[in-house]
Amino acid sequence: MLLAKAKSLKKNFAKEKALVDINFEIFSGHITGLVGPDGAGKTTLMRIMAGLLDANSGSLEVLGFTLPKDALKVQELIGYMPQKFGLYEDLSVEQNLNLFANLQNIPKEDLSKRINELLEFTNLFDFKHFLTKNLSGGMKQKLGLACALIKKPKLLLLDEPGVGVDPISRKELWSMVKTLLKDDVAVLWSTAYLDEAELCDRTILLNKGEILFNGVPKDLSKLMAGRVFKIIGDILDKRKTLQKLLSYDNISDGVILGSGIKVLCKNPKALPSLEDLGLKTCKYEPMEPNFEDGFMLKLKGEFNGESLLAKQMKTFDMTSETLIEAKNLSKKFGNFTATDNISFKVKRGEIFGFLGPNGAGKSTTFKMLCGLLKPSSGKARVLGQDFGKSSYKLRGKIGYMSQKFSLYSDISVIQNLKFFSGIYGLRGAKRKQKIADMLEIFDLKIYEKSKAKDLPLGYKQRLALACSLMHDPVVLFLDEPTSGVDPLTRREFWNHIYAMVQKGMTIMVTTHFMDEAEYCDKIALIYKAKAIALDTPANLIAKVGKNATMEDAFIELIKRSENA
């Protein structure tokens, strides 16, 4: 059954075109995915459908009503989960549900029953008295979903519900939403995860307010048929090889994939010679294209392997082999153990992945290694030293991009850059040049005078990364740097990361994107404050099965730990 229909929908903000001639239909019992880069118009479209914004022209019918004329009637029948939590952090889980129930005029005699149903549905019953601010990211998203479902909506609008959520919690969210389809609910699901977009019944791809694709996800994947290959065999330096491959005009994109390299080409008959690349024992193996490959094609995503960021950095010549070390590292907050006896070493020039579900202890470990938290026991050493003895000198050699933005939200982009360059000791012409470089490299000039809080999510992350790199640190800690960022910006970030490591920088990174985990040299998997696995991505995947993915390995290794 048709539940929503847009025809020639347009929306402008001053001179900026947010939506341009949008046409689509949404049917009951289906999940419609909504994808696109930052600033594509996804949130604007959702807000118009929720009756929170008026379009400039065109027509929009939702559940038999016309918007914006019947906005109040539509709002009584839909559920809307915004991108930024609409939750009250100082209220408990149960109190948030009560509040949303009252706002939706749920009859008192039905209230207790409905709240208990939703607590059971989202597996939050045992946490109903917890304050929302004390929940993990995955639990917050489940609570946000429960609040959106309080009135049994016929249309559910979800604006990036998986942002910052680990693979296990994302699977649970996905399973919950699919259960709703049995009641003929229609779902519009905005997402930065293209593996999720691939699972939708239909997907709309937006860019700069225009629809580039609207159809079955497999149809987008097919556009790259015969143009996707994996190089398999003995590759000594995958990062250098990928950089060389991307320098060829025929190679539009490429990523490290386990023990091999995945490449996207323009012409399959003109692939670079593997012998010329020093890969005599390797071969090209055709791959089935996925949704992301089609996404990159539609958005003309092409990467040459160069990084302007790395080009303006010096080369780090370190004599020490181990630059980061955790030795029996533990942290307790009262009776709660956040990190429990964790040990690992990160070598010079490595990318070290630190994975785990929300609340596993990743950020706590990062803070101890950066000298922001004092360990309860054990040692946290960086560059062979601990923060207790030489904290000032160490901080000048470390960059840290925190999970929750380390930006000052009420000051502008340029003011943030000036502040961070100042605290890192940059002065005069050097400081001025570094700020100019960062504005250019991260394409921040257009937002130079905008407050940090008003930036699109991808640009906030760009600014946060720029601020953490003002002083050319030897060691860089990145805590979920690509959370909520679109695939093009993610690829841009990793292009920089690869190139910085080539310059001798050592990087430790957390991520919930399992494809990014495969870009790392080594991975530590953390669960319930303990390190349950430590190995290369390829070896971790091999422990699970021959045809397993990194996400399969993540979930299975955690299950085995739980059973043990």
State the pLDDT at residue 28: 93
The CA radius of gyration of the chain, in Å to the nearest whole number, is: 24
Q: How many helices and strands (H and E) does the chain possess?
A: 20, 23
CA distances from 453 to 1, 40, 400, 498, 543 (A): 40, 18, 19, 29, 43
Of 508, 542, 200, 227, which is closest to residue 363 (Cα–Cα)?
Answer: 508
DSSP 473: -
The tens place of each residue's pLDDT in the chain, 564 residues long, gives: 899 999 999 999 987 889 999 999 999 999 999 999 888 899 999 999 999 999 999 999 999 999 999 999 999 999 999 877 678 889 999 999 999 988 888 888 878 888 998 998 888 888 999 998 888 777 888 888 889 888 889 999 999 888 778 888 888 888 888 888 988 999 999 988 888 899 999 999 999 999 999 999 999 999 999 999 999 999 988 888 998 999 999 999 998 887 789 999 999 999 999 999 999 999 999 999 999 999 999 998 888 888 889 988 888 877 778 999 999 999 999 888 999 999 999 999 999 999 998 888 888 998 899 888 999 999 999 988 887 665 667 788 899 998 766 788 899 999 999 999 998 889 999 999 999 999 999 999 989 999 998 888 788 889 999 999 999 999 999 988 988 788 888 888 998 999 999 889 999 999 888 888 988 999 999 999 999 999 999 899 999 987 788 889 999 999 999 887
- Give start-end residues of each CATH 3.30.70 domain in the chain: 226-288
- CATH for 2-215, options being 1.20.150.20, 1.10.150.20, 3.40.50.300, 1.10.10.10: 3.40.50.300
Which pLDDT score, from 0 to 100, does residue 405 have?
62
Neighbours of 341 (CB within 10 A): 15
Q: What is the largest CA-CA distance in the chain?
A: 75
Instruction: Compute the C-alpha angle 77/80/86, nearest 5°.
Output: 135
CA distance 141 to 160: 10
CA atoms of 182 and 188, how far apart (whole Å): 16
Residue type (1 letter), 183: D
Phi and psi of 395, rounded to 5°? -60, -30
The CATH number that domain 226-288 falls under is: 3.30.70
Instruction: Please name which of 175, 177, 137 lies closest in space to residue 157, comparing C-alpha atoms.
Output: 177
Q: Determine the Cα–Cα distance for residues 198 and 177; give it in Å rounded to an integer.
A: 15
Residue 233, token pair as written in the block = 């065999």
- Residue 131 gets which letter from DSSP? B
Residues in Cβ contact with 539 at an 8 Å cutoff, skipping those fewer than 6 apart: none
Of how many residues is the chain composed? 564
Amino acid at 138: G
Asked if the bond preceding 268 is cis, omega within 30° of 0, the reply is no
Name 329's bridge partners.
Answer: 342
Domain span(s) for CATH 3.40.50.300 in the chain: 2-215
